Amino acid sequence: MADFLTGMRISGSGMTAQRTRLNTISSNIANINTTQTPEGGPYRKKDVVFEAMPDARNFGEIISSTDPKGSFQRVQVTDVISDRKAPILKYEPDHPDANPEGYVAYPNINLMEEMTNMIQASRAYEANVSALQASKDMALSSLEIGR
Protein backbone atom coordinates (compact mmCIF):
# COMPACT_ATOMS: atom_id res chain seq x y z
CA MET A 1 0.00 0.00 0.00
CA ALA A 2 2.93 2.33 0.66
CA ASP A 3 4.02 2.15 -2.98
CA PHE A 4 0.52 3.13 -4.10
CA LEU A 5 0.64 6.12 -1.76
CA THR A 6 4.07 7.11 -3.08
CA GLY A 7 2.71 7.07 -6.63
CA MET A 8 -0.28 9.11 -5.55
CA ARG A 9 1.92 11.71 -3.79
CA ILE A 10 4.13 12.01 -6.87
CA SER A 11 1.13 12.41 -9.19
CA GLY A 12 -0.40 14.90 -6.78
CA SER A 13 2.78 16.98 -6.76
CA GLY A 14 2.75 17.02 -10.57
CA MET A 15 -0.88 18.17 -10.60
CA THR A 16 -0.12 20.95 -8.11
CA ALA A 17 2.89 22.12 -10.14
CA GLN A 18 0.95 22.14 -13.41
CA ARG A 19 -1.95 24.00 -11.78
CA THR A 20 0.50 26.71 -10.70
CA ARG A 21 1.91 26.79 -14.24
CA LEU A 22 -1.60 27.10 -15.73
CA ASN A 23 -2.45 29.95 -13.35
CA THR A 24 0.76 31.76 -14.30
CA ILE A 25 0.10 31.32 -18.02
CA SER A 26 -3.46 32.60 -17.53
CA SER A 27 -2.09 35.68 -15.78
CA ASN A 28 0.33 36.28 -18.66
CA ILE A 29 -2.48 36.07 -21.23
CA ALA A 30 -4.80 38.27 -19.16
CA ASN A 31 -2.12 40.97 -18.90
CA ILE A 32 -0.93 40.88 -22.52
CA ASN A 33 -2.00 44.53 -23.00
CA THR A 34 -1.20 45.86 -19.50
CA THR A 35 1.00 48.90 -20.00
CA GLN A 36 1.10 50.10 -16.38
CA THR A 37 1.52 48.11 -13.16
CA PRO A 38 1.76 49.31 -9.55
CA GLU A 39 5.54 48.70 -9.79
CA GLY A 40 5.69 50.97 -12.86
CA GLY A 41 6.06 50.06 -16.50
CA PRO A 42 4.38 47.25 -18.41
CA TYR A 43 3.48 43.86 -16.98
CA ARG A 44 6.39 41.41 -16.95
CA LYS A 45 5.75 37.87 -18.20
CA LYS A 46 6.01 35.26 -15.41
CA ASP A 47 7.55 31.80 -15.70
CA VAL A 48 7.36 28.93 -13.21
CA VAL A 49 10.52 27.13 -12.09
CA PHE A 50 10.16 23.42 -11.24
CA GLU A 51 12.61 21.31 -9.26
CA ALA A 52 12.79 17.57 -8.61
CA MET A 53 12.68 16.84 -4.89
CA PRO A 54 13.01 13.53 -3.03
CA ASP A 55 9.60 12.08 -2.22
CA ALA A 56 9.99 11.77 1.52
CA ARG A 57 7.73 13.22 4.16
CA ASN A 58 10.44 13.75 6.76
CA PHE A 59 14.22 13.85 7.21
CA GLY A 60 14.30 10.30 8.61
CA GLU A 61 12.82 8.89 5.40
CA ILE A 62 15.50 10.65 3.35
CA ILE A 63 18.34 9.29 5.54
CA SER A 64 16.97 5.75 5.69
CA SER A 65 16.34 5.52 1.93
CA THR A 66 17.63 2.20 0.54
CA ASP A 67 17.32 3.27 -3.09
CA PRO A 68 20.88 3.74 -4.45
CA LYS A 69 19.69 6.54 -6.76
CA GLY A 70 18.30 8.50 -3.80
CA SER A 71 14.54 8.02 -3.88
CA PHE A 72 11.53 8.65 -6.02
CA GLN A 73 11.32 12.21 -7.19
CA ARG A 74 8.38 14.56 -7.01
CA VAL A 75 8.09 17.96 -8.63
CA GLN A 76 7.89 21.18 -6.68
CA VAL A 77 7.48 24.78 -7.75
CA THR A 78 10.52 26.60 -6.37
CA ASP A 79 10.02 30.04 -7.88
CA VAL A 80 7.94 32.21 -10.17
CA ILE A 81 10.30 34.51 -12.02
CA SER A 82 9.62 37.65 -14.04
CA ASP A 83 10.94 37.86 -17.57
CA ARG A 84 13.67 40.46 -18.04
CA LYS A 85 13.21 40.94 -21.80
CA ALA A 86 12.70 44.48 -23.00
CA PRO A 87 9.08 45.50 -23.58
CA ILE A 88 7.67 45.81 -27.08
CA LEU A 89 7.39 49.44 -28.19
CA LYS A 90 4.45 50.38 -30.40
CA TYR A 91 3.90 53.79 -31.89
CA GLU A 92 0.56 55.02 -30.48
CA PRO A 93 0.90 58.75 -29.80
CA ASP A 94 -2.74 59.07 -28.62
CA HIS A 95 -2.39 56.37 -25.94
CA PRO A 96 -2.39 57.76 -22.36
CA ASP A 97 0.77 55.76 -21.51
CA ALA A 98 2.75 56.91 -24.55
CA ASN A 99 6.23 58.31 -23.89
CA PRO A 100 7.24 61.75 -25.27
CA GLU A 101 8.20 60.15 -28.61
CA GLY A 102 4.71 58.56 -28.90
CA TYR A 103 5.70 54.95 -28.13
CA VAL A 104 3.85 52.72 -25.68
CA ALA A 105 5.68 49.89 -23.88
CA TYR A 106 3.72 46.62 -24.02
CA PRO A 107 4.62 43.35 -22.28
CA ASN A 108 6.89 41.06 -24.27
CA ILE A 109 4.36 38.21 -24.36
CA ASN A 110 3.79 36.00 -27.40
CA LEU A 111 0.18 34.79 -27.35
CA MET A 112 0.90 31.71 -29.50
CA GLU A 113 3.74 30.68 -27.20
CA GLU A 114 1.52 31.10 -24.14
CA MET A 115 -1.29 29.06 -25.73
CA THR A 116 1.19 26.32 -26.62
CA ASN A 117 2.48 26.32 -23.03
CA MET A 118 -1.12 26.15 -21.78
CA ILE A 119 -1.89 23.09 -23.93
CA GLN A 120 1.33 21.45 -22.76
CA ALA A 121 0.55 22.14 -19.08
CA SER A 122 -3.04 20.89 -19.52
CA ARG A 123 -1.83 17.64 -21.04
CA ALA A 124 0.76 17.17 -18.28
CA TYR A 125 -1.98 17.75 -15.70
CA GLU A 126 -4.23 15.21 -17.45
CA ALA A 127 -1.37 12.68 -17.52
CA ASN A 128 -0.94 13.08 -13.77
CA VAL A 129 -4.69 12.64 -13.26
CA SER A 130 -4.53 9.40 -15.28
CA ALA A 131 -1.54 8.15 -13.27
CA LEU A 132 -3.31 9.01 -10.01
CA GLN A 133 -6.45 7.20 -11.16
CA ALA A 134 -4.38 4.14 -12.15
CA SER A 135 -2.73 4.06 -8.71
CA LYS A 136 -6.13 4.37 -7.06
CA ASP A 137 -7.56 1.57 -9.22
CA MET A 138 -4.61 -0.71 -8.42
CA ALA A 139 -4.97 -0.04 -4.68
CA LEU A 140 -8.70 -0.80 -4.82
CA SER A 141 -8.05 -3.98 -6.83
CA SER A 142 -5.50 -5.16 -4.28
CA LEU A 143 -8.05 -4.62 -1.52
CA GLU A 144 -10.58 -6.68 -3.47
CA ILE A 145 -8.06 -9.56 -3.70
CA GLY A 146 -7.83 -9.58 0.12
CA ARG A 147 -11.55 -10.24 0.54
Per-residue pLDDT, averaged over 2-22, amounts to: 87
pLDDT class of 53 with cuts at 50, 70, 90: confident
For the CA atoms of 120, 126, 128, 129, what is the dihedral angle to 10 degrees?
A: 170
Q: Say what the pTM is.
A: 0.81
- Kindly tell me if the per-residue pLDDT of 19 is higher than 70: yes
Q: Give residue-wise pLDDT tens across range 79-129.
A: 999 999 999 999 999 999 999 999 999 999 999 999 999 999 999 999 999
Domain boundaries, given as residue ranges, for the chain = 2-32+46-82+109-145
Determine the pLDDT at residue 8.
86
Of 65, 44, 45, 37, the residue nearest 53 (C-alpha): 65
